[in-house]
Amino acid sequence: MKNKYQMNNLIGIVNYGIAGNIHSVKKAIEKAGGNTLVINTPTDFDLVDKVVIPGVGSFKDAMQELSNDGFIEPLKFFNKPILGICLGMQILANLGFEYGKTKGLGLVDAEVKLILCDGKIPHMGFNKIQVVNPNILLDGLEEKEFYFMHSYEMVNYTNISALTEYRGHSIVSAICKNNLYGVQFHPEKSREAGIQLLSNFIKLKV
Amino acid sequence: MNTRIIAKLDVKPPYVVKPVHFEGLRKMGSPSELAKKYYNQGADELFYIDIVSSLYQRDILFDNIEKVASELFIPFAAGGGIKSIDDFSKMFRMGADKVVINTYAVQEDPSIINKASEIFGSQAVVVNIEAKKWKNHWECYTDCGRIQSQKDVLEWVQEVEQRGAGEILLQSVDTDGRRRGFDTELAEKVVNLVDIPVVVSSGAGSLEDIKTLIKVANPSGIAIASLLHYDQATIQDIKQCLNINEK
């Protein structure tokens, strides 16, 4: 059963929007030892064991694109591990406030709002994560630095797995709820620590 | 959060070149080799700017961008000759995380900044400023420091922020490539004027220059070219001197 091992590791990357850093996410997952399939149609979700939602763009555009592609239902009913990256994590929330008010996937009880703090916005650069609720995804990554690049943050959320300090302000940098994982930073842009995180995701049991 | 140390590649395809005052180009190596070298040294980010694309009014060479992006697991900003939303899209598809724009926004249509930031998110839109000092003010230049625009730098940086730019790359036509220090006066003014991150470039001749810049202006990032290209310092050297711990 040579295929079985491969199937257990087949990571789908949701291809949506006109931007999308599919390319770098794909490369990084492969570097971490995973097999990837770019998800272009709703039926592609049946072929994969895990899903990564990359994120570049605005909340509003992202939801519009997911809707146009027919990806909203398959994502809502996907019962295997999902990893949302940056905007890909944010759209798991109920509501987003980037360019108006937009409904998210509603998979986690949260809202996405502009970061309000003294620091420069976007929060951009390498910053440390503090693991508050350990899980397999963040295994061995306590206090490691990851690359952040965002102006909006997730708020009102209780399933926080990591926080990041920015100018006296705590940003939710990782979440976990059942099969759902989300990271505000970009593992595909975070050198060895990022590859390690993706490798942890690949190793998660389905 | 530490100051980001960014390696900047000024490219005249197929080579990375180093102009002095944005003129007199010298070949430094191939973009992908140098990108890899600085990645291995611990660069936080990489900027790739095709410095002749606007000037020669030719199309952007996207293949080059893809080649450079393919081996990096750090953010990669690319620009030079960006004229449309379609150019932005192509850059992202080739692996860029941010797109750098100057000439078109200054000369033709600044609203491209609004459009791009609405579609791609402001974090992905970097406005490049090529500033030249006159008596009491700084003026924006375009086409790799050649064309005067009559736009005042301090006004323009506020305008681009309002239009949705997520970051400013601040270069100085006066100090670029001379390795005699940054225009710290300008850097300080711009950093204090806007709430978005400012990456300061042009003029690092020594580690001391970098220290001085941080002390005076404390920018979010510093983009380094000559110092690295001439092997005068490595990224590690810079981080060590700034007491930035290795990841």
Q: What total of structural domains would you count in chain A?
A: 1
- The answer to whether position B247 is within a domain reads no
Q: What total of structural domains would you count in chain B?
A: 1
CATH number at residue B87: 3.20.20.70
Residue B148 is part of which domain span? 4-241
- The answer to whether position B31 is within a domain reads yes
CATH number at residue A76: 3.40.50.880
Q: Report the residue of chain B nearest A15, measured CA to CA.
A: B93
Rounded to the nearest 5 degrees, what angle is found at the Cα of B13, between the Cα atoms of B225 and B87? 95
The model carries a pTM of 0.92
Q: Could you tell me the two tokens for A128?
A: 């440390």
Residues 6+ apart with CB under 8 A from B179: B203, B204, B205, B206, B226, B227, B232
B197·A195 Cβ contact <8 A: no
Shortest alpha-carbon distance between residue B74 and chain A (Å): 4
* Beta strand segments in B109-172, E: 125-133, 138-142, 147-152, 167-172
Taking the alpha carbons of A25, A26, A28, A29 in that order, is the dihedral positive or negative? positive
- The answer to whether position B174 is within a domain reads yes
| Out of B93, B97, B123, closest to residue A151 by CB | B123
- The answer to whether position B246 is within a domain reads no
Q: Compute the distance between CA of residue A110 and CA of residue A177 in angstroms, rounded to an integer.
A: 12
Residue entry with tokens 């295929």 = A3
Report CA dihedral (A183, B126, B30, A26) to the nearest 10 degrees: 30
Residue A155 is part of which domain span? 2-203
Q: Which residues of B touch A19 (CB under 8 A)?
A: 88-89, 92, 119-121, 124
Residue entry with tokens 């997520």 = B166
Say whether residue A19 is in contact with chain B using an 8 A CB cutoff.
Answer: yes
- The answer to whether position B162 is within a domain reads yes
The pLDDT profile of chain A, 206 residues, written as one tens digit per residue, is 444 444 568 999 999 875 556 888 999 999 999 999 999 999 999 999 999 999 877 898 899 999 999 999 999 999 999 999 999 999 999 999 988 899 999 999 999 999 999 899 999 999 999 999 999 999 999 999 999 999 999 997 789 999 999 999 999 999 999 999 999 999 999 999 999 999 999 999 87
Shortest alpha-carbon distance between residue A43 and chain B (Å): 24
Q: Which residues of A touch B118 (CB under 8 A)?
A: 58, 61, 99
